[in-house]
Amino acid sequence: MRATFMYGAGDVRVEQAPDPVLERPTDAVVRVVRACVCGSDLHPYHTMPASDEGTPMGHEFLGVVEELGSEVAGLKRGDLVVAPFAYADNTCAFCREGLHTSCPNGGFFASGVGGGQAEAVRVPQAQGTLVRLPVGEDSELLPSLLTLSDVYGTGHHAAKQARVGPGSTVTVIGDGAVGLLAVLSARRLGAERIILMGRHEVRTELGREFGATDVVPERGEEGVERVRELTGGDGTHAVLECVGYMSAYEMAVGTVRPGGVISRVGVPQYEEAPVGFSSLFGPNVTLTGGPAPVRAYIEELLPGVLDGTVEPGRVFDRTVGLDEVPEGYRAMDRREALKVLVRP
Amino acid sequence: MRATFMYGAGDVRVEQAPDPVLERPTDAVVRVVRACVCGSDLHPYHTMPASDEGTPMGHEFLGVVEELGSEVAGLKRGDLVVAPFAYADNTCAFCREGLHTSCPNGGFFASGVGGGQAEAVRVPQAQGTLVRLPVGEDSELLPSLLTLSDVYGTGHHAAKQARVGPGSTVTVIGDGAVGLLAVLSARRLGAERIILMGRHEVRTELGREFGATDVVPERGEEGVERVRELTGGDGTHAVLECVGYMSAYEMAVGTVRPGGVISRVGVPQYEEAPVGFSSLFGPNVTLTGGPAPVRAYIEELLPGVLDGTVEPGRVFDRTVGLDEVPEGYRAMDRREALKVLVRP
Alpha-carbon span B298 to B88, nearest angstrom? 14
Are A227 and A197 within 8 A, CB to CB? yes
What pLDDT, on a 0 to 100 scale, did the predictor assign at position B192? 97
* Strands of the sheet with B2-8, listed across from one edge: B11-16, B2-8, B55-56
From first to last of the 344 residues of chain A, give the pLDDT tens digit: 999 999 999 999 999 999 999 999 999 999 999 999 999 999 999 999 999 999 999 999 999 999 999 999 999 999 999 999 999 999 999 999 999 999 999 999 999 899 999 999 999 999 999 999 999 999 999 999 999 999 999 999 999 999 999 999 999 999 999 999 999 999 999 999 999 999 999 999 999 999 999 999 999 999 999 999 999 999 999 999 999 999 999 999 999 999 999 999 999 999 999 999 999 999 999 999 999 999 999 999 999 999 999 999 999 999 999 999 999 999 999 999 999 999 99
Q: From CA B88, how far away is CA B101, in angstroms rounded?
A: 7
**In this complex, how many residue pairs, one in chain A and one in chain B, have their CB atoms less than 8 Å apart?**
110
Q: Complex ipTM above 0.85?
A: yes
Write out pLDDT tens, residues B142-177.
999 999 999 999 999 999 999 999 999 999 999 999
CA B191, chain centre distance (Å):
20
Give the residues of chain B that fall short of pLDDT 50. none
Which residues in chain B have Cβ-Cβ distances shorter than 8 Å to A253? none
Contacts 24+ apart (CB under 8 A), A202-209: A202/A317, A202/A338, A203/A175, A203/A176, A203/A338, A204/A175, A206/A180, A206/A314, A206/A315, A206/A338, A207/A172, A207/A175, A207/A179, A207/A180, A207/A183, A209/A314
Q: Which residues pair with B57 in a beta bridge?
A: none
Query: Which chain B residue is nearest to residue A282, measuring alpha carbons?
Result: B290
Question: Rounded to whole angstroms, what are the CA distances from A77 to A29, A69, A74, A298?
Answer: 10, 11, 11, 21
DSSP string, B67-98: EE-TT--S--TT-EEEE-SEE--S-SHHHHTT
Best probe of the B interface among A102, A249, A284, by most B CBs < 10 A, is: A284
Does B40 reach chain A within 8 Å, measured CB to CB? Answer: no
Tell me whether strands A340-343 and A318-321 are parallel, antiparallel or unpaired. parallel
Nearest CA in chain B to A95: B259
Round to whole Å and give the CA distance between A285 and A89: 34
Q: Which residue in chain B is spatially nearest to A266 when comparing CA positions?
A: B281
> Domains of chain A (ranges plus CATH)?
2-150+293-343 (3.90.180.10), 155-289 (3.40.50.720)
- Give the closest-approach CA distance of B284 to chain A in angstroms: 4
Q: Do A279 and B289 touch (CB under 8 A)?
A: no
Query: Which pLDDT score is estimated for A264?
Result: 98
